[in-house]
Structure 1
Amino acid sequence: MDRPSDAPRPAARREDIPGWFFRLDQEAFRHLLTTQSTAGTTGDVLELGSYLGRSAVLLGDHLRPGERLTVCDLFDSAAGDDDNAAEMTMSYRASLTRSGFEANYLAFHPELPTIVQAPTSVLADGRIPAGSCRFVHIDASHLYEHVAGDIEVARRALTEDGLVVLDDYRSEHTPGVSAAVWQAVFTGGLRPVLLTPMKFYGTWGDPEPVRRELLARDWRAEGFTVDEDTIAGRRVLRLNNAVPSAAPRSGPRQLLLDLLPPVATRAVRRALGTLRAVRG
């Protein structure tokens, strides 16, 4: 059957799916989900806020027989309140459609996940059985009230040692997420496991086995850095991209940059940067 002319064109490659789910967190997701499976941990997977499917496709890779992936997103339906509607309009209303998500997901998996097209707050009605999930990814609204509610949904849905991942916990434009995450840590029993520049990983169970599994991997050999910190006496790992050391400049080129006026120097730097990008 031919694809209708107005149907969304699915991504040819996973990296072509629009979104903000980058390699660092992709590797963290793969590692943690694989570790759960290896350890015999069973349970469903839940995603609150899926955009066009970049992270959902990866989550679907790790489902085992009998496990279910549920995604909840407004997609192209109306938001339930003015603040949420304003956020969606500002961020992604023009590009976010359920048909786009479905096309991308089906490009890499034979069947769609269970889709709940509604505000994530509807999941508070108990439709996700308590203790049924081993992994929950939260990347929906950035408003404090919504994120706090999503965290509570995750807490009820997760198994004893299940993992919750929250996006944008430290971005300057999402203070509501930060407030909800750290409130859950200091008053709600959520224990941090891993921090990346974009995401917070935690559990309401014992974080030590997860930390040990993370430290058993040689992240540095793969171009990442891993460090350990404490937050109010609680240990947490930090994973980041390694910063490549700057290549020493040749003497004549550095001399030229030093002698040129600032405006010309900036122009030369931009030209060199463009040339490097073209060469790949």
Structure 2
Amino acid sequence: MSAPDLTAALERIPGWFWPADQRLFEWFLSDDRPGDVLEMGTYLGKSAVLVGSHVRTGENFTVCDLFESDAPDADNDVETTRSYASLTRQKFEQNYLSVHPALPEIVHGPTSVILDHVKADTCRFVHVDASHLYTHVQGDVLAARTVLKEGGIVAFDDYRSEHTPGVALAVWEAVAGLGLAPVCISSQKLYGTWGDPVPVQERLLAWLGTREDLWHTTDVLGDRNLVRVNQRKKPKPASPTSDVDRLAVELRRTTAELKKVTAESQNAVKALKKATKEVSLLGPVAHRATAWLRRRT
């Protein structure tokens, strides 16, 4: 798979996977430590095609999603019907195979069954982006903790969106009571570990220092640090520096002024024609008035 193929797929496949998180996924997945990869909730495969490009020989990539199947409970059924009506396994497979030669292992069902398919302490990276309901996310948190190897990374989507308070509660409960240590956050995702976050953060900060497309800052939260990352806004075009650039700018400016002068000239010609017409109409009237005055005299 070539980089242009992956870039084109990320632009083409529908989904909510922003550039900052794409870069963070690439960095976390490039870690040298071996291990399997798991994605719980995949939608149409936008993040999966990127994850799949970082799965190495001997590693397993597992994707778990309900796709078009019935949800396990009424609330979850309402959620999937409202938000993911267009999701089908066939569309996911088409999108994934447009980039990769073979599919990952697919668990077609709720994330509550994932521990029947992925062994404990085997994963180096887990992406949680399934249900937004609190009780389901609780289960996903526990599943992620179970399958992650020591020092593995978990990424939780929608940890702060106004329409997903259940995710926020479950994730921050895990931070407060289950030992989850946040490494960094973006506008959409929280990245954490059940290991020591400090060595990971140090390597992450060193890498972020080389990235001109990302901005970052570090917040102190009590006895821990939290790195915030997001996409840097594109800079405004630089002022012209070469003679060619300056001439091009001057030519554009001159062309604009010429158009303005031409328009003003055209308006002046129209006004002159109108005045000339009015004078020609007044000529006979003035002649008759002069003749009348002579007769009266």
- Are 2:118 and 1:122 equivalent residues in the alignment? no
Equivalences for 1:19-168 in 2 at 5 Å? 19-34=15-30, 36-37=31-32, 41-93=33-85, 95-125=86-116, 127-168=117-158
Partner SS for 2:207: coil
Conserved 8 A contact 1:161-1:204: yes
Q: What does the per-residue CA deviation read over 1:86-136, in whole Å, with 9 as the maximum and x for residues that have no partner? A: 11111111x1000000001111111100000100011244x3111000000
Larger Rg computed on CA atoms: 2
Match of 1:13 in 2: 9
Provide structure 2 residue ranges, at least 5 long, that are not aligned to the other structure. 1-6, 238-297
Give the secondary structure class of the aligned counterpart of 2:62.
strand
Deviations 1:238-274 (A, max 9, x none): 0012245789xxxxxxxxxxxxxxxxxxxxxxxxxxx
Give yes or no for contact 2:9–2:46 (8 Å, CA) kept in 1.
no
Tell me the SS of whatever aligns to 1:135: strand
**Superposed displacement of residue 195, structure 1:** 0.4
Q: How big is each residue's C-alpha offset from its partner over 1:166-190, in whole Å with a ceiling of 9 and x where there is no partner?
A: 0000000000000000000000000
Where is the helix percentage greater, Structure 1 or Structure 2? Answer: 2
The answer to whether the Cα contact below 8 Å between 2:201 and 2:227 also exists between their aligned partners in 1 is yes
1:27-64 superposed Cα distances (whole Å, 9 cap, x missing partner): 00001111x12xxx111000000001010111110111
Q: Do 2:208 and 2:216's aligned partners in 1 also have CA atoms closer than 8 Å?
A: no
Using the size of structure 2 for normalisation, the TM-score is 0.75
Q: Work out whether residues 126 and 144 of structure 2, in 8 Å CA contact, stay in contact via their aligned partners in 1.
A: yes
Greater relative contact order, per chain length (Cα 8 Å cut-off, separation 6+): 1
Contact residue 226 and residue 240 of structure 1 kept, 8 A: yes
TM-score, length basis structure 1? 0.79
Q: Indicate if the aligned counterparts of 1:49 and 1:138 stay in contact, CA closer than 8 A.
A: yes
Structure 2: distance between partners of 1:45 and 1:158: 9
What amino acid is aligned across from residue 74 of structure 2 in structure 1? Answer: D
1:175 and 1:219 map into 2 onto residues whose CA distance is 33
Is the 8 Å Cα contact of residues 50 and 56 (structure 1) preserved in structure 2?
A: yes
Distance 1:184 1:232 in 2: 17
Q: CA RMSD for the aligned pairs? A: 1.7
